[in-house]
Amino acid sequence: MTQSIIEIGPLQLSLCLGFVLLAGVTSFKYNLGLGRDLFIGTIRTFAQLFLMGYVLKFVFSANISWLVLLIFTGMVTAAVHIIRGRVSEKAIPFVIPTFLSMIVTYSLVTMLVTGVIVGAKPWWTPQYFIPLAGMIVGNSMTAISICLDRLFSDLKTRREEVEMKLALGADYREASQDILRNAIKAGMIPSINSLMAVGLVSLPGMMTGQILSGTDPLIAIRYQIVVMLMLVASTSLGTLIVSGLVRRRCFSAAQRLLLR
């Protein structure tokens, strides 16, 4: 028998602030200097999620394709902005190839999942497309950040090795193949770890949300399996395409490594 949804009101939300207060006390006691970040992060969490809630409520009721795709583009833009902040390398222009790769790859993956696997009609149905696209972009953002950071750092630390291979006649692909492979692997490890732990260590957010809303756990499990496999594929494609495009920009037309 399906139970009615228990609503969370303002009082319950205010009680949750106690968790943040506990973290703030810990930061203060051990002089971690995280008080300001905790305060700003909490304010942003409330503001951003409530704003997104009202936006999604409007989008769901409007059910307009271009509006759904506009929100998806906004998600990717925000993700690329965060990636740019996390990756310390500024000499190599990686923002545009990252944005274009994420837009093309993740829109295709999301369309495949919503339109073919889930069977939503039309494929851009906002109740399916936006949440699934958000999970893809969010997880891939972390993977691409790790991948690019590893790529740039290894090209710098192994600079002499790369330049020696170039001097011996190798092109940029051959000289940096191991570095690219390690960077892609580093970006994919978190998703693979999630595959190993799901169901035993953790119940992921989508599955938990569906169960809390009264959905049959077996139905929620099927959706979660789709999501987990979708995330592995998207992080794999994202890290592979982005790192491949960005690696090319690390070398000049004369096959010289540009990173310093």
The residue with tokens 């690390």 is 250
Whether residue 56 is found in the same domain as residue 67: no
Q: Please state, rounded to an integer, the average pLDDT across all residues of the chain.
A: 88
Same domain, 158 and 143: yes
Burial call 168-177: b when 16+ CB within 10 Å, e when fewer: eeeebeebbe
Structural domain count, the chain: 2
Q: Which of 151, 175, 156, 154 is nearest to 260 (CA)?
A: 156
Domain co-membership, 78 together with 188: yes
Whether residue 146 is found in the same domain as residue 203: yes
Among 62, 90, 111, residue at a domain's last position? 62
Judge if 118 and 230 occupy the same domain: yes
pLDDT of 71 = 92
State whether 93 and 217 are in the same domain. Answer: yes
* pLDDT of 201 over the 80 cut: no
pLDDT at 72 exceeding the cut of 60 = yes
Q: Which two tokens stand for residue 230?
A: 């979708």
Instruction: Give CA–CA dist 196/201, Å, rounded.
Output: 9
Is 251 in a helix, a strand, or coil? strand
Rounded to whole angstroms, the Cα distance separating 187 from 161 reads: 23
Using only C-alpha atoms, the chain has a radius of gyration, in whole angstroms, of 22
- Among 1-15, 24-38, 185-199, which is the least confidently predicted range? 1-15
- Residues spanned by the domain of 136: 63-249
The closest alpha carbon to 101, from 244, 231, 228, belongs to: 244
Secondary structure (3-state) at 194: helix
Residue 90 inside a domain? The answer is yes
CB 72 within 8 A of CB 108: no
79 and 179 inside one domain: yes
State the Cα–Cα distance between residues 94 and 112, nearest whole angstrom: 27
Task: Give CA separation, 55 vs 52, 76, 205, in Å.
Answer: 5, 17, 21
What are the Cα distances from residue 258, in Å, to 160, 171, 250? 13, 14, 5
The pLDDT assigned to 149 comes to 93
User: pTM of this prediction?
Assistant: 0.82
Q: What confidence tier does 3 reach under pLDDT thresholds 50, 70, 90?
A: low
Residue 205 confidence (pLDDT): 67
pLDDT of the residue at 88: 83
Alpha-carbon torsion, ordered 58, 108, 135, 218, to 10 deg: 90
The answer on 37 and 139 residing in a single domain is: no
Q: Are 114 and 59 in contact (CB under 8 A)?
A: no
pLDDT at position 1 is: 46
Whether residue 111 lies inside any domain: the answer is yes
